[in-house]
Amino acid sequence: MTAPPDDCLARNDWICGDYLATRRHILLDAVLQHLHLTVVSVLLGLAIALPLALVARRWRWAVGPVLGLTTVLYTIPSLAMFSLLLPLYGLSATLVIVGLALYSLTLLVRNILAGLAGVPEEAKEAARGMGYGPLRQLLAVELPLAVPAAMAGLRIATVSAVALTTIGAIVGHGGLGNLIYAGMNSYFKAQVLTASVLCVVIAVAFDLLLLGLERLLTPWRRV
C-alpha cells in the first residue's frame, strides 16, 4: 500500500497551513477586492437611501412608492439583478457595486425612516422653541437622534453586502467569492474553507466596527 502524502495540499485537506503560506498574496488580493466592493456599494446605497428617506419624510404620499420600489428591488434574485444591469455596466466591478447598493436600499431607507419617526416630539418642540429652522432642526436634532435605528439598518446592510459580494464571482468580481467558486469547481477544500472563513471574519469585523461607530456617535446612550 502507498503511504498517504505528508503534504496537506496533496492530501487536499480542509485545513492546510501550506495553502495559507503559498497563496497569501492571492488571498490578500481577494480580501482587498471584497472590502472595496462591500464598502463602496454600502456607501453608494447610503448616499441614495438618505435623500429617499428625507423625501418620504417630507412628503408623506411618497412613503408608499419609495418603500414599494426599494422592496421590489430587494426581492429580485441576484443573478437576475446582475443580468438586468449587464447592458449598462458590462462585466465590471461597477456592475457588482450598483447591484449591491440597490439591494441595500430597502434596509437603509426603512431604518432611517423608523429612526426619524421615533424622534420624540418634545425634542422637536424644544428645537423650535430655541429658534431652529426646519433644516437646522433636521441636522442638529432629528438625524442625531435617528442614528441608532439608522445604524441598525446599516449594520444589516453591510453584513448582507459581505455575503452578496461573493455572487459577483459570476462576472469575475466577487472578491473571496472568486476563490470559493473556483475551489468548489475543482473541489479544492482548503481554498473553499479558507475563503469562506475570511468572509465570516470580514462580516463580524464590519459589524463590530459599526457598533463601535454607533456608540461613538451616540454618547448620550452610554450615560
Give the CATH number, domain containing residue 27: 1.10.3720.10
Flag whether 53 is in a domain.
yes
What's the confidence (pLDDT) of residue 159?
A: 94
Flag whether 181 is in a domain.
yes
The DSSP element (H or E) to which 62 belongs, if any, is: none
Flag whether 10 is in a domain.
no
Rounded Cα–Cα distance for residues 144 and 103 (Å): 25
User: Mean pLDDT for the chain?
Assistant: 86
What's the confidence (pLDDT) of residue 99?
A: 92
What's the confidence (pLDDT) of residue 199?
A: 94
- Asked if 190 and 16 touch (Cβ cutoff 8 Å), the reply is yes
Could you tell me the pTM of the whole model? 0.87
What's the confidence (pLDDT) of residue 126?
A: 84
| Total domain count, the chain | 1
What's the confidence (pLDDT) of residue 124?
A: 79
Low-confidence ranges of the chain (pLDDT < 50): 1, 3
Alpha-carbon radius of gyration of the chain:
22
- Asked if 119 and 150 touch (Cβ cutoff 8 Å), the reply is no
**What does the longest C-alpha to C-alpha distance in the chain come to?**
89
What's the confidence (pLDDT) of residue 15?
A: 80
What's the confidence (pLDDT) of residue 18?
A: 79
Flag whether 223 is in a domain.
no
The half-sphere exposure of 58 on its side-chain side, counting CA atoms within 13 A, is 9
Flag whether 3 is in a domain.
no
Structural domain containing residue 184:
23-218
Flag whether 33 is in a domain.
yes
What's the confidence (pLDDT) of residue 184?
A: 85
Flag whether 158 is in a domain.
yes
What's the confidence (pLDDT) of residue 127?
A: 79
What's the confidence (pLDDT) of residue 201?
A: 95
Flag whether 13 is in a domain.
no
